[in-house]
Every structure is written in C-alpha cells, then in structure tokens.
Structure 1
Amino acid sequence: MRPSHLLLAVLVAAVWGVNFTVIEIGLDHFPPLLFSALRFLVAALPAVFLVGRPKVAWKWIVAVGLVLGVAKFGLVFVGMDTGMPAGLSSLVLQIQAVFTAVIAAAVLGERPTGVKVLGMVVALAGIGVAALDEGASGPLGAFVLVVGAAAAWGLSNVLTRKASPPDALNFMVWVSTVPVLPLLALSLATEGPSQDLAALRGLDWQGAGTILFVAWVSTVFGFGAWGWLLHRHPASTVAPFSLLVPVFGMSSAALFLGESVTPLRWCAAALLVGGVALTTLTPARRGRDRLPDAVAARPEPVGRPPARAEEPVR
C-alpha cells in the first residue's frame, strides 16, 4: 500500500472514531431519533440526484435501510443519549463482528474455523469486562442498547452481502433515503413534536456542524474513501485499519469530552479488539458463501462489488 493510501486508511479510521465524540456533542442539540433522521436526510440529499438509479433490488435497499439506519443507528443514538459514553460506544460496537459471523453461519452457511470461534470467545469476554466496568459507573441499560445496535449491524452486514451491490456509494446513498421517515415518525411518537420543533428552532452553528460532520464527513467521505481503497487493495490489507476506530474513539472522547479510561476499560479494549481481529482476519471454510472478512472488521457496513468486501457506514 502506498504511503498516501495508508494515510487515507488511517484518516478514515480517525474520522469514524472522532464521529462518536461529534455524535455526543450533537445530542446536546437534538433528541436522538431526530438527530439520526437528520443525519440520513443530509447524507441522502442532494447526493441521491447525483449517483444515478439504484443498482440492486429495492427489497435490499429497504431491508438494509431499516436494519442499519433505523435499528442500528437509532439504538446507538438513544443509547448514547441515555448515558453510554462515546469512547465506550466506539469500542462496544465492534462486537458486531461476532454477530456477523453467527448470523452468516445461520443464513449463508458459513462454518467458522477454530480460530474464528476463539476470536468470538475473546471478544465476548471483552464485552463482559466492558459491561462490568459500565455497570459500576453508568447505566447498564444504555450499554445493552449499544450491544443491540451491534447485533442489528451484524444483520445488516449479512443483508448487504446478499444484496452484493456493484456500486458502494450508490448503495449507501439510496440506503440513506430509507430511515428518514421511519426515524422522524418514531421521534414524533416518542420524543414529541414540541421537543423536535424546539431543537430545530434553536439550531445553531455547532448543531448544524455536527449534522454535516456525521452526514458528509463520516458517511459520504468515510464510506467513499473506504470503498475506493477496497477497489485498489485486498480486503485483508484494508480491513485491519478499522481496528483503529476504537483507539481514535476513546482518545477523542477523553480529549474533548473528558471521559476517563479506566484500567477495566483498557482491558476490555484489548480483549475486544484482539477477538475481533481473530474473528474477522482469518479465512472462512467455505469460499463460495463466506462473508467477506472485512465486512465484520469495519465499523459502519454497506456494500461493494462482490469480489471485495462490504463497506461500513458511520
């Protein structure tokens, strides 16, 4: 990999890690479900008019949009809004690699190797340590919501694999159109019209900046750059850079939000990242139906040519 490509891969990981800190700041300005809806609205417009027609069946766009956009991101934003720290969220979401492997085994017939199973056990141990740490210092319910988001992410990875979109950016933009109305409806039903209107009327530069960052920088730039790298390098070369996301996530949260990183959290990070590496960077037994390794290794999924790996979305 050229030095410029290597720097780009690190930059994308840094953007996706810092994104959790930006989300935390944005949640001071918007109710979580409204914030998530605005994120997808801005990511989809005006890009949807520039990328051409969808290149996969609508059933896959709708399915991934609901599972990834509504379930995964809805749970993440609500979990963080109810007390889940930004840095810990960036770490815990990596358990999606385990959910991806388990769902792929059930749906795609992928049989995990012994090394992958070991990786799942190590990653689950990391989640256990993280839960112990969060239970001692914060709301365990918020932790469970983020774990649920990781499960939804794993399911969306498998759905994306089944869709096999030939154009990652096209797929991501069209997927972004799906969650907007469901998230707005959920926001109106649970957060209330008055709270939503108050947030929109009080929109300032900082609030607008967080929306633009999570929509254009994290989603459009991050997704596009990652897909560009995957078209030029093997997935096994690009995927390991995603393991830097929790490093940037925890570091930026500590630097900008003053979040503390306890010894237990460092232990959880070591176990989870190590387990994810074992789970995602070793080959599966079945070549034809196996889920591309990089899809589980990266943070935020969505499609790409079948020969490579599905890109994440953040």
Structure 2
Amino acid sequence: MEHRDNMAVRVFSLTSLAMIAFAGNSLLCRAALQDTTIDAASFTSIRMISGALVLWLLIQLRNGEAVGRGSWLSALALFVYAAGFSYAYLSLGAGTGALLLFGAVQATMIGYGLWQGERFTAVQVMGLLLALSGLAGLLLPGMSAPPLSGAVLMLAAGCAWGVYSLRGRGAGDPTRVTAGNFMRAAPLALLLSIVTMSQANLDIAGVAYAIASGALASGVGYAIWYTSLPMLKATSAATVQLSVPVIASVGGILLLGEALTLRLVLASIAILGGIALVIWQKR
C-alpha cells in the first residue's frame, strides 16, 4: 500500500512538473518578446540549440541501449512549430497563445484519427462542435479578440506540433528521437536567423529566456514528461494536458500583468471542455 502511495505521489509530481514546463514555454517566450529586445528568429534558434544540447547530455548520462534517431521530416515539423510559436507571441498573450496552440494540436490529432477511419459517438461529436464554437468565438472580431496574424501563426504551430506528435508514435525511445529532431531542427532555425539577419537583435535577458525555454522548459520538460508517460493511462495522459493553457493563463496574469477577459474564459471552457469530452469518450 505504501509503495502504491509513493508511486502515485511520484507520478503526480512528475506530471505536474512537466505541465508547468510546457506552460513555461509560453510564459518565457512571451516575456522575452514583450519585455526584451530579442527578435523571434534569434529566440527560436537559441531555444532549439539549447534544447538539443540538453537532450544530448541527458542521453549521454543515461548511456542506454535504446534506439531512436529522429528524422528530417519530424525536424521540419518541429521547426515550423517553434518558429510559428515565437512569431505568434509577438502579439498574443501567454494564455491565449497556449489555448490556440493546444486546441490546434488536439484538433490535428483528432482529425487524423477521423481520417484513419475512427468513428465518433454522439457525445464526441458534441464535444468537437463545442470546441470549434469556442475557437470561433475566440477569433470573432472585437476589442478582446487576439490579433488575426498571431492567431493564424499559433494555429499553424499547433498543427505542426500535432504532426510532429503523430510522427513520433513508435519511432523509438522518445528522448533519443526528440534529441535527434532537435539537432536537425537547430540548423533550420539558424537558417531562419540568417535570412532575417537585418531584424536580428540580442540582449542578455532575451538570450537567458531563450536558453531557459530550450534547456529547461523544452529539454528537461520533455524528459520529465516521457518519464511519467509510461505510468499514465492514455486517456489520463491526454486529459492532463488540458491544464497547460490554464497554467499559462494564470502565469500570464500573475507574472506578465496580462488581463483576463470574459471572452478568453468562455472560449477556454468551450474549447477545453469540448476536447475533454472527445478524449474521455474515446475507446
């Protein structure tokens, strides 16, 4: 009984840390692009490079025989996610960005399931329609609507991350695969920085935020998540990620001074609630 309790505490602690790390990516990126002079391309490059280095070090420390190398197609999806994520946060708040990102990721993966022949129950259809209505309500024109360009970029980033997640299924040891993809995505990010060299700008605080995003929130965060995943049921693993936009929203309000609007609250309830219905009803 004591062993079971200790395992439950371990799973809860690891999962909570992983979700905080995922939300931390939104907060660090938004803080860097709002409060420092670093440009989005440089932030992306530093994040990818620092993430690749930390993941490589973790693999060396493990020194295991697990297989997995990543691929250029997955690295391209990872790069599109990271670049779209950074540029979107030039105009989006942390909570709004995380909500759009998470909604797009889940929509991509749910859409893939439908394309593969999965059939939805009536409750799942209701959940999908509820989530879509929440997204539409969030993006409708109005004073509290997020900038359209930022919203489109974040939705694209979410779709790319959904593709990346789908491609990672069964690709081998998750940490090794992620490290391989980060190492391949880093040159793509550097190429973006070269192309946008005229807009490049660095400062100490911005670089520190980018390193923290890549090394801690991404590298260490993914490693923690993959450690906890085998101990979670599939449904629980999908559902617990519903907490990420909430954590990011609270962090944005407390740490970045962002406003909590009624539109965001209602959209969050509709989008996250709708996705929860789809996940929980999934056989």
The offset of 1:102, in angstroms, is 0.8
Q: 1:260 aligns to what?
A: 259
Q: Distance in 2 between matches of 1:143 and 1:222?
A: 25
Q: Distance in 2 between matches of 1:134 and 1:34?
A: 32
Picking from 55, 61, 79, the partner of 2:71 is 61
More helix by share: 2
May I ask how many residue pairs the two structures share in their alignment? Answer: 270
2:24 touches 2:213 (CA, 8 Å); kept in 1? no
1:123 touches 1:272 (CA, 8 Å); kept in 2? yes
The answer to whether 1:105 aligns with 2:114 is yes
Task: Return closer, same or farther for 1:255/1:134 CA change in 2, 3 Å cut-off.
Answer: farther
**Paired letter, 2:108:** F
Q: Percent same amino acid at aligned positions?
A: 23
247-256 or 141-150, which deviates more: 141-150
2:48 touches 2:189 (CA, 8 Å); kept in 1? no
Q: 1:76 aligns to what?
A: 85
Q: Distance in 2 between matches of 1:78 and 1:87?
A: 15
46-55 or 212-221, which deviates more: 46-55
1:103 touches 1:155 (CA, 8 Å); kept in 2? no
Q: 1:301 aligns to what?
A: none
Q: 1:173 aligns to what?
A: 179
**Paired letter, 2:111:** V
Task: Return closer, same or farther for 1:30/1:281 CA change in 2, 3 Å cut-off.
Answer: farther
Q: Deviations over 1:272-298 (max 9, x none)?
A: 1101212223324xxxxxxxxxxxxxx
Task: Specify every segment of 5 or more residues in structure 1 that has no aligned partner in the other structure, as ranges.
Answer: 285-314
1:133 touches 1:264 (CA, 8 Å); kept in 2? no
The offset of 1:127, in angstroms, is 0.7
Q: Give TM-score scaled by structure 2 length.
A: 0.86
2:89 touches 2:150 (CA, 8 Å); kept in 1? yes
The offset of 1:248, in angstroms, is 0.8
Corresponding residue SS for 1:254: helix
Picking from 33, 42, 50, the partner of 2:41 is 33
CA RMSD of superposed structures (Å): 2.3
Q: Distance in 1 between matches of 2:237 and 2:110?
A: 19
Runs of 4+ off more than 6 Å = none
Task: Return closer, same or farther for 1:238/1:207 CA change in 2, 3 Å cut-off.
Answer: same
Corresponding residue SS for 2:258: coil
Q: Deviations over 1:166-224 (max 9, x none)?
A: 311111111101221222222322x2x2433x42xxx31x2333123211221122111
The one of the two structures with greater contact order (alpha-carbon pairs below 8 A, sep at least 6) is 2
The offset of 1:260, in angstroms, is 0.6
Q: 1:87 aligns to what?
A: 95
Q: 2:130 aligns to what?
A: 122
1:103 touches 1:154 (CA, 8 Å); kept in 2? no
Q: Distance in 2 between matches of 1:256 and 1:76?
A: 20
